[in-house]
Structure 1
Amino acid sequence: MNKLTATLASAALLLSAGTTFAQDVLRVSAIPDEAPTELARKFAPLGAYLEKETGLKVQFVPVTDYAGVVTALTSDKLDMAWLGGFTYVQAKERGKVIPLVQREEDTKFTSKFIANTASGVNSLKDLKGKSFAFGSASSTSGHLMPRFFLQKEGIKPETFFKNVAYSGAHDATVAWVASGKVDGGALNSSVWDKLVEGHKVDLTKVKVIGTTPPFYDYNWTVRGNLDPALVKKITAAFLKLDAKNPEQKNILELQRATRFVPTKPDNYRGIESAAREAGLLK
């Protein structure tokens, strides 16, 4: 057996034995529930921290829509992704994925219902016959759960509202309502609070008219075949983030988190049930 033949035979043996090779890049993405520039800005310090903790280069991979994140994660084009509860359920339906951690705030998340102040709307009932916007069709807090709770109140969006539109992102929904493009809308409470705190929403043009009951939402999820040792490193890195450490406090603030806590598939059974009831998951 010559040297080339021996090398090829060794390679074939390794592949047939299912041997995996060490990875040197951690490919990470997030559902595009905000502008791409904002997502990249918020992730940068976290990415640098994860590089130190894992010893891998961390690459943020932007995507254009929610479905793209689910597809990339379940086809091994991504190693980890920031998902909403609904996109996690969609990913779980398509392949093996592992939810690792969530912000403590995500164990009791809510959505806001907002209205244009000039529309004369003061409650959800006042929106009858008026225009309404959800965020992305795949958004947990911008569509699925607001729809679920509207239906619990006897409001079927497609017949109750004059028309239903999808803005694609939480901040876009606020912009649509503020401009009068639609009379009302639904969005993630955390994004609403951030926009208000940053003076990026004109409260003379937009007001809150309701808040949903709490539900589990966002999490960091990895592909199911990621190296278990790496999964442990990533999980430990998130769980040890401490607001008492100035550098880590900045990371947590950008993630709008007080701390990260472990999560599990069972936390999202309510969202899965809501999705099936709403006809959004077959």
Structure 2
Amino acid sequence: MTFTPARRSALKQALLCCAALTTLASTLTCLPAAAADKVLRVSAIPDEAPTELQRKFAPLGEYLAAKTGMKVVFTPVSDYAAVVESLATGKLDLAWLGGFTYVQAKIRTHGTAIPIVQREEDARFTSKFITANPDIKTLADLKGKSFAFGAPSSTSGSLMPRFYLQQAGLNPENDFKNVAFSGAHDATAAFVASGKVEAGVLNTSVWDKLVEQKKVDTSKVHVFATTPPYFDYNWTVRGDLNPALIQKLKDAFLQLDPANPQQKDILALQRASRFIPTRAENYDGIEKAARSAGLLK
């Protein structure tokens, strides 16, 4: 086949273009890791509605971006297990976990997940048992009643309340009329307020927020019992994250100052007076409670 000068020129340009594309493709194969280093991927257990989680995180995300020089991307997930799995498989760098989900993450990552900070309030966290039934005044009055926990993997909405019910001699599946799982703390309050169940349990922080925002009618729904305190929420990083970045993140949380108006607003959205360091050993009691309840083997 004979090529005219014009066709030879076009063919030469096409070959050069292919070579360039091959070089570019080779270069792009190296980009994801480098690009990932510039993006901090964050999520949280879905213990409240996704829109509320996004609203709470937005100012904190901007603050962390300024402190780390990274783009911060928050991605809500559908369930607790998804956060644990995403952290374990390297799809997340930083996650807001409950005490029990941290224990699950520790086990799933063979001990490499690192809890870096918790709110000061999380060192003595509690759950509230609520009802709209005036006949329910004590835990013993729950016998024969319908009851709602939050999500099955929730520390404050399921595990620790269940543990304390068992300490009080109550087995929910045997002693209650029926047991429901609302999926989130605010949903539990709605279940109780609507009469879908006669009683339920949710974490104190969310209960206080609902009361402050007048999203629950306390003339109808009231607290009738509170659990003893336990360690709960924390911010956890994946273990193979750059140590320098881990330290930057830890320092950023610890430097949040309630005397700074802008940072005070960030802390308020997190329901935190301040952040303090935490460590894996703080959650040993939760792991024991989970094993006692048959939720871990």
Query: Is this a same-fold pair by TM over 0.5?
Result: yes
Deviation string 1:159-197 (CA, Å, 9 cap, x unpaired) is 110111100000000000011110011110110001001
| Match in the other structure for 1:227 | 242
- Corresponding residue for residue 161 of structure 1: 176
Aligned counterparts of 1:62 and 1:184: Cα–Cα separation in 2:
28
- The equivalent residue for 2:12 is none
CA distance in 2, matches of 1:35, 1:165: 18
Structure-2 residue corresponding to 1:117: 133
Q: Name the CA distance, whole Å, in 2 between partners of 1:121 and 1:213.
A: 19
Matched residues in 1 for 2:63 and 2:34: separation? 24
Separation in structure 2 between the aligned mates of residue 110 and residue 130 of structure 1, nearest angstrom: 22
Q: Cα distance, 1:82 vs. partner?
A: 0.2
Show the counterpart of 1:36: 50
Residue 149 of structure 1 aligns with which residue? 164
Q: Given residue 24 of structure 1, which amino acid in structure 2 is its aligned partner? A: K
| Percent of aligned pairs with the same amino acid | 68
Q: CA deviation at 1:232?
A: 0.5
Root-mean-square deviation (CA, aligned residues, Å) is 1.8
How big is the shift at 1:21?
4.1
Q: Does 1:86 align with 2:100?
A: yes
CA–CA separation in structure 1 for the residues paired with 2:240 and 2:34: 13
- Residue in structure 1 matched with residue 11 of structure 2 by the alignment: none
Pick the structure with greater CA Rg. Answer: 2
Aligned counterparts of 1:86 and 1:156: Cα–Cα separation in 2: 20
User: Where do 1:244-263 residues align within 5 Å?
Assistant: 244-263=259-278
SS at match of 1:202: coil
Which residue type is aligned with residue 113 of structure 1?
F
- Please say if 1:56 is aligned against 2:70: yes
Equivalence for 1:132: 147
Whether the 8 Å CA contact 1:117–1:204 is kept in 2: the answer is no
Q: Deviations over 1:238-259 (max 9, x none)?
A: 0000000011000000001010
The alpha carbon displacement at 1:237 in A equals: 0.3
* The one of 118, 121, 143 aligned to 1:105: 121
1:57 is displaced (CA, Å) by 0.2
Report the TM-score, using the length of structure 1 for normalisation.
0.92
**C-alpha displacement of 1:123:** 1.3
What is the distance in 1 between the residues matched to 2:97 and 2:70? 22
Aligned equivalent of 1:182, options 163, 188, 197: 197
Letter in 1 for 2:44: A
Query: What are the superposed Cα offsets for residues 58-85 of structure 1, whole Å, 9 maximum, x if unpaired?
Result: 0001101111111111110100000000
Which runs of no fewer than 5 residues in structure 1 stay unpaired? Answer: none
SS in 2 for 1:86: helix
Paired AA for residue 219 in structure 2: T
Amino acid at match of 1:215: Y
Counterpart CA distance in 1 for 2:168 and 2:290 is: 16
Does structure 2 retain, via aligned residues, the 8 Å contact 1:99–1:220? yes
Moved more, 29-38 or 202-211: 202-211
2:229 partner SS: coil
Q: Shift in Å at residue 128 of structure 1?
A: 0.6
Distance 1:184 1:267 in 2: 30
Q: Give the whole-Å Cα distance in 1 for the aligned partners of 2:225 and 2:206.
A: 15
> Partners in 2 of 1:268 and 1:124 — Cα distance?
26
Counterpart-to-counterpart distance in 2, 1:99 and 1:254 = 20
Q: Distance in 2 between matches of 1:252 and 1:207?
A: 27
Q: For 2:232, what is the secondary structure of its paired residue?
A: coil
CA distance in 1, matches of 2:223, 2:96: 27
Offset at 1:204? Answer: 2.3
**Helix, strand or coil for the counterpart of 1:185?**
strand
SS in 2 for 1:132: strand
1:115 to partner: Cα distance: 1.0
For residues 76 and 274 of structure 2, the distance between their equivalents in structure 1, rounded to whole angstroms, comes to 25
Match of 2:89 in 1: 75
Residue correspondences, number: 269
Alpha-carbon offset, residue 153 of structure 1: 0.7
TM superposition outliers: structure 1 runs of 4+ over 6 Å:
none
Distance in 1 separating the partners of 2:219 and 2:187: 17
Match of 2:251 in 1: 236
